[in-house]
Amino acid sequence: MLSETEIVVRYQETDQMGVVHHSVYPIWFECGRTDLIQKAGITYGQLEKDGIMLPLLGLKCRYMSPCYYGDTVIVKAGVKDMKPARIIFRYEIFRKGGIKPAASGETEHVWANRQLKPVNMKKYHSDLYQLLNNIFMQGENFEDE
Amino acid sequence: MLSETEIVVRYQETDQMGVVHHSVYPIWFECGRTDLIQKAGITYGQLEKDGIMLPLLGLKCRYMSPCYYGDTVIVKAGVKDMKPARIIFRYEIFRKGGIKPAASGETEHVWANRQLKPVNMKKYHSDLYQLLNNIFMQGENFEDE
Amino acid sequence: MLSETEIVVRYQETDQMGVVHHSVYPIWFECGRTDLIQKAGITYGQLEKDGIMLPLLGLKCRYMSPCYYGDTVIVKAGVKDMKPARIIFRYEIFRKGGIKPAASGETEHVWANRQLKPVNMKKYHSDLYQLLNNIFMQGENFEDE
Amino acid sequence: MLSETEIVVRYQETDQMGVVHHSVYPIWFECGRTDLIQKAGITYGQLEKDGIMLPLLGLKCRYMSPCYYGDTVIVKAGVKDMKPARIIFRYEIFRKGGIKPAASGETEHVWANRQLKPVNMKKYHSDLYQLLNNIFMQGENFEDE
C-alpha cells in the first residue's frame, strides 16, 4: 500500500539559501506516515492511546533537487519492511507535476510501549500486528532499490 | 529579577528573506523563560512534575531590526506581573554588542494543572506562589513602557 | 475578503504538554496569509520577485483552547487595515467543526524593498497598492473587535 | 579535528511522546557543523559570501536513546571525508555527562556555487580547499565504524 499526501511549502520552511531547509523533509515524511497509517484504517493517535509508540531508530534522506516556497509537494509513503520488533517506512517526495522524486528516504521505528520500551509487537498486539502486516504489505509499493 | 540567555542563531532559523524568521522569536522567549525560572532556583521541568503547567494565553512580539545567521543574540527575560491566576513574562532580544533591542515581547500564561485546567496558584501551591512572587518581583526589572 | 486554509496538525508540532506548541500558530497564520494573497490573484513569491517584501513589525496571538495531533484546523485570514506604509492581517484558527476560534491573532508588516528598507507602497507600486486595497477591503471580513 | 557544541534542549523541541522530536537532531548537527567550520578559522557565513554553498545530498541519523527537556546535549562534529566534489560530516550527540552517544549521524554535502550548481572545489577555490583539507583531516577524529 502507498499513500499520497499533498503539502504546500511554508515560507517558514525556507532558509537563506532560498530553498526548503533539509530538516523539513523528515517532518514531511511524518505527515506521509500519518496519512499512510490512517489509510490502513487506524490513526497514529489511536495507536498511542492503545499504548503503542513508534520512536525512531534511524532516519535516512537523499536530496536530489531542491523544493521552493510556492511549490506544492507530494509525499508518497509506504512500508518497506515490517517485523515484530521493527517497522521501516519508505518515502518519496515529488514537486507537484514532477516525474523524478526531489527527495527520498526511510525511517526505521521500534515498536514500543508507553514507557518507550521495545516490545515484540506480534505478542504485544498480535491481531493488530497481523492486520497491519496484511494491509501495509499488499497492493502497490515502492520498487526495490 | 532579570535573566540573560545567549543564543547562537541557527542556519535553520533563517528564511529566504535572509533573516531569522519571525516565528523563532517566541522560541527564543521560551529559552529565556526557562533560564529565568532556573535562576529563581527551580526548573520548569520540576514545575511540570509537580503538576504545574504554564500554557499560553497570549503572545506579543515587536520586531525592531532583523537578526542574522552569524549573530549571537541575548535574550533578557523577566516577570512583568504575577497574579494567582496568571503570570506575564517580558522579553528583550539584543544582537550581541547591540544597545537597542532587536525585538521585544510578552507572553501571558495561565497557572494550570496537569489537565491544563486553570488553577488559583495561591491556593494550589501557596508556598511556591509566594516564593516565586518574592523572587521574580525583586531586584532588577524592565522599566515600565 | 477572507480566505480559509485547512491544515492537518503535524506530530512534530506538538510538545510534551501534549498540545500544539504556541510557536506553531504564527506559522499557521503565515499559511493563511499566503492563501489570502493568492486568493487576491497574486502570489507572495511574485511580490518578492517584484522587490516587494513584507517583514514583520508586530505579532499578536491569543490562545483560547488547545489544538491536538489528530485535529484538522482551519485558518481564516483577512486584512484588517492597509496603509501606504503598513498592512495588518488578522487571523482566526478553528478546530475543524468547531464554532469558537481556538486562537486568533494579528500580524503587522511594513512594505519594504529587497534590502528590507521601508517604502511608501502607494508611490513604490501605486497600481498594485490600489488593486490590493480594492480586493482585500471588499466583501466578507472579520467583525471589529 | 573535532568540535564540541553545547546545546540546551528547548521546550519547543519536545513532542507529545515527551522526548526531543527526531527532526531536531539534523538541526543540532547543523549547529555542530557551524562550530566545526568556525574552529577551522572560517565562518559558514563567509563561505556563502564567497559564493560557496553546501547544500545537502544526504542525511543519516541513528537514535540510540532519547533526549529530554532539561538536558544539555553535546554535539561532536568532524569531517569524515572530503573530496573536490563532496564533503561528509559526522556527528555524535551526547547527553551531558553521558558516556555513550544518544544519537549519531552523517551529512553529505556537495560543493556548489551561489546558483546551487555543483563545482569542483579543488578548481573553484583551490587554496581554500587545500587549507580546509589540511585542517579538517588533522588531529582528533571519530574512529572508523
> In 3D, which of D14, D6, D34, D24 has the Cα closest to residue B9?
D34
User: Touching check for B16 and chain D: CB below 8 Å?
Assistant: no
Question: With the C-alpha atoms ordered B54, B58, B63, B68, is the resulting torsion angle positive or negative?
Answer: positive
Domains and CATH numbers, chain D: 2-137 (3.10.129.10)
> In 3D, which of B107, B115, B112, B118 has the Cα closest to residue B34?
B107
Nearest CA in chain A to B10: A15
pLDDT given for residue D101 in this prediction: 98
Alpha-carbon distance of A80 to A32, in angstroms, equals 14
Among partner residues B10, B43, B68, which is closest to D70 by beta-carbon distance? B43
pLDDT given for residue D44 in this prediction: 92
Task: Suggest the residue from A6, A20, A34, A56 to mutate for an interface test with chain C (most C CBs closer than 10 A).
Answer: A34
User: Touching check for C23 and chain A: CB below 8 Å?
Assistant: no
**Whole-number average pLDDT of chain B:** 96
Neighbours of chain D (3+ CB pairs under 8 A): A, B, C
Higher pLDDT, A39 or D140: A39
Neighbours of D57 (CB within 10 A): 19
Mean pLDDT of C54-81: 97
Chain C, residues 43-72, CB within 8 A of chain A, namely: 43-45, 68-70
Phi-psi region of B22 (alpha: psi -120 to 50; beta: other; left: phi over 0): alpha
For B28-37, letters b (16+ CB in 10 Å) and e give bbbbbbbbbb
Neighbours of chain C (3+ CB pairs under 8 A): A, B, D
Residue C145 has pLDDT above 70, yes or no: no
Alpha-carbon distance of C37 to C35, in angstroms, equals 5
Contact between chains at C16 and D11 (C-beta distance less than 8 A): yes
Angle at C33 between CA C27 and CA C35, to 5 degrees: 110
User: Touching check for C10 and chain A: CB below 8 Å?
Assistant: yes
Contact between chains at A58 and D57 (C-beta distance less than 8 A): no
Residues in chain A within 8 Å Cβ distance of D107: 22
Residue A139 has pLDDT above 90, yes or no: no
> In 3D, which of B120, B121, B87 has the Cα closest to residue B106?
B87
Check: CB of residue D90 under 8 Å from CB of residue D142.
yes
Mean pLDDT of B111-126: 95
Q: Which cell goes with B49?
A: 512534575
Strands A72-82 and D72-82: unpaired
Contact between chains at A12 and B21 (C-beta distance less than 8 A): yes
A73-131 pLDDT tens trace:
999 999 999 999 999 999 999 999 999 999 999 999 999 999 999 999 999 999 999 99
Residues in chain B within 8 Å Cβ distance of C53: 17
Among partner residues C34, C68, C69, which is closest to A11 by beta-carbon distance? C34
Alpha-carbon distance of A43 to C114, in angstroms, equals 45
Q: Which cell goes with D92?
A: 555524535
Residue D120 has pLDDT above 80, yes or no: yes
Angle at B70 between CA B69 and CA B73, to 5 degrees: 90
Contact between chains at C58 and B53 (C-beta distance less than 8 A): no
Mean pLDDT of B65-81: 97
Q: Specify the DSSP class assigned to residue B112.
A: B
Looking at the complex, report in whole angstroms how far the Cα of residue D34 sits from the nearest Cα belonging to chain A. 15
Neighbours of chain B (3+ CB pairs under 8 A): A, C, D
D55-88 pLDDT tens trace:
999 999 999 999 999 999 999 999 999 999 999 9
**pLDDT > 90 fraction of chain D, expressed in percent and rounded:** 94
Residues in chain C within 8 Å Cβ distance of A31: 8, 10
pLDDT given for residue A8 in this prediction: 98
